[in-house]
Amino acid sequence: MKTIRAYCTAIFAALYLLCAPAATLAADEHDVVSVNINTATAEELAEKLDGIGQSKAELIIQFRDQHGPFTSLEQLLEIKGIGQATLDKNRDKIRL
């Protein structure tokens, strides 16, 4: 009886250890930080968006000041240095 209990405990412990990283990963996916590109400062854009440093963030602000609020994410492609790959990396982080 003790042997069965030991096996069951070992199996449950192994299953717990295997499932714990997956649960952590799932929680991290829901913690996506988003930024409103129509109201954010250059510092916020540089901090929260992948592949966007201070200089590109300032270009986003300049574009916004010249053309008004963004109405689609694809408008970011009009800014020098921001390509499709950068937009795709940040699509889930950007709000209008």
Residue type, 22: A
Q: Where are the domains of the chain?
A: 1-31, 35-95
What is the per-residue pLDDT across 50-78, written as a single tens digit (0 to 9) for each?
999 999 999 999 999 999 999 999 999 99
How confident is residue 33, by pLDDT bands cut at 50, 70 and 90?
confident
Claim: this prediction has a pTM higher than 0.85 = no
Q: What percent of the chain has pLDDT over 70?
A: 72
Does the structure show a pLDDT above 90 at 11? no
Pick the CATH number of 35-95 from 1.10.3720.10, 3.30.70.3270, 1.10.150.320, 2.60.40.10: 1.10.150.320
State the residue for tokens 């250059």. Answer: 42
Query: What is the arithmetic mean of pLDDT over 21-26?
Result: 54
